[in-house]
Structures are given as C-alpha cells and as structure tokens.
Amino acid sequence: MGEPLVRPSRVELLEVHQLRLVEAAAPWVSPEDHAAMNRIWGQAVQANPTLFDGPAVACAGLEWEGPNNMLIAWAKTTYRYFALRWVPGATSWLPSLFVSVVQPTDDGCLLVGRMSSSTAAPGRWQLPGGSVEPPDDREPFDVGLLRRHAARELIEETGIDTAPDDLTLWCVTRGENGNIGVLFLAPHRSASFLRERFTAVVSSETTLGHTPELDQIALVRSPADLACLDGPHVDYLEPVVRRHAQQRSES
C-alpha cells in the first residue's frame, strides 16, 4: 500500500483531483517502542499539560490509482502514537493525516496563523487546520468528512464560517517527516473580513477563559513574506505559498 514508512527529504505537493480513503489495520508497536513512546509522551505532557491523548488517524500508505487519482490508507490510533517519530530506529512509525485550509484574500494573499502556547507546536506558523480524527461507526471516512473537518477547524481557529461544500480539494502534501496533509481551497474573502472574524473569535475564547488555538494571524503574498513572521513555520507552508502565488500570476 504505497510507501508508508518513507520519510521524504523534501516537501512534496501532489496534484490530486480525486481522493479515495480506505481503512487499514491499526499499527503494531513492539514492547520496546511502546515503552519509549510512553516515556516521550509523558515528557511532552509534563512540558505541556494541555496535550490530550485523544483519537487520531495515521496514514498507512499512499497509492496512485490513475492520473491525479489517489488512494490514502488510514488507521485508527491516538495522539500518543506520534511520539514514535522521536524514537530512534522505531519500525512501526506511521505519519499523521491532517487537513488544512488555503484561505485567500481578494487581493491575492493567504491567511496563516501562529499556534498558541496551549498547542502541540507553540509559536509555529501554519495554515488553519488540524489532525484528522476517526469517525464514529455510522459515518463514512471520505472526502466529505475531511471537508467538514476542515471547515470546522477554520471556524474554530479563525472565526471564518465557510460551508464545507464551498471548500475545493486543492492538493495533498507530504512533509519532510512523512506527514500527509489534505488541503482545501476556500472562497476569496476581504482582508478586513478575515481580521474582523479572527479578532471576534479571540475575544470570545478569551471571555470564556479559553486560550485560542491561534494567537496571531498574518496575510502573506509570497514566500519572501514568511521571513518576516515571528517564529518558525511548518514545512509545507513555503511551497504552498509559492504554488498559490504562481497560480495567481497565471490566472
């Protein structure tokens, strides 16, 4: 089923027009790796008590089924499992599966957000989105589910309410650590609207005593703008911004 354990040396943006998802067996973890995983996860929770070992999805493989048609095999796990990526020589490691939203402005910028101190990657800039969670037994795991999850992440993190059907499959990314991202393109919005919605959601979360998932947003036009951001950015961000800028110039 593809190349489940290969960690590419660079970020790949895969042109995918149709996506099919099938469930695979949950990954087996050796007793040695399991002990190391628990130790690393415990250290992470001690450093950040807000981390939660809830249900998550790992990517068990990718496979092309035709031109621009991709199959993703997925497996149920929990967030603790991804601590295996830090275990030297771990053989049962599988990358995570996440969704992100490419939110453009009317004047050609993209919205990016900085993760807050309560998240697993504080200070990191990325697109709105998050790790995929497995559905219940009554809900099919398909592109529609990913689209709904992306729309939910978008409104929770930025306050931007977009109907799932208005999100278009844009590409699939494979990061340097092997993590797989399914990216959806949202309708264009004005820059002022995006800032107003983000200010409103931060105010609402703060009033409720919650820490927002994103503590700051920025609107970037080109990869050069990323150098002006205060903090690191996720590995896929630069090639995504570059691709969007190229598509804008060609349109």
- The string of pLDDT tens digits covering residues 96-130 is 999 999 999 999 999 999 999 888 888 999 999 99
Q: What is the pLDDT of residue 9?
A: 53
Mean pLDDT, the chain, rounded, equals: 92
Longest dimension (CA), the chain: 54
CA-closest candidate to residue 81, choices 116, 144, 37? 37
CATH of 12-250, one of 3.40.50.720, 3.90.550.40, 3.90.79.10, 3.30.420.280: 3.90.79.10
Query: Residue 91 pLDDT > 80, yes or no?
Result: no
Give the amino acid at 144: G
Mean pLDDT of 59-82: 94
2-16, 59-73, 145-159, 225-239: segment of lowest average pLDDT: 2-16
Query: Residue 28 pLDDT > 90, yes or no?
Result: no
Query: Residue 33 pLDDT > 70, yes or no?
Result: yes
225's tokens: 């703008």
Q: What is the pLDDT of residue 6?
A: 47
Mean pLDDT of 31-41: 93
Give the integer Cα–Cα distance in Å for 39 and 80: 10
Give the pLDDT band (50/70/90) at residue 88: confident
Mean pLDDT of 134-144: 89
Q: What is the pLDDT of residue 177?
A: 85
**145: which residues sit within 8 A by CB, 6+ positions away?**
135, 139
Q: Percent of the chain having pLDDT more than 90?
A: 78
pTM above 0.95, yes or no: no
Q: What is the pLDDT of residue 120?
A: 81
Contact criterion met (CB below 8 Å) for 111 and 219: yes
Query: Residue 22 pLDDT > 50, yes or no?
Result: yes
Instruction: Please give the C-alpha separations between residue 181 and each of 28, 97, 175, 202, 247, in angstroms, as whole numbers.
Output: 23, 6, 8, 26, 20
Q: What is the pLDDT of residue 3?
A: 42
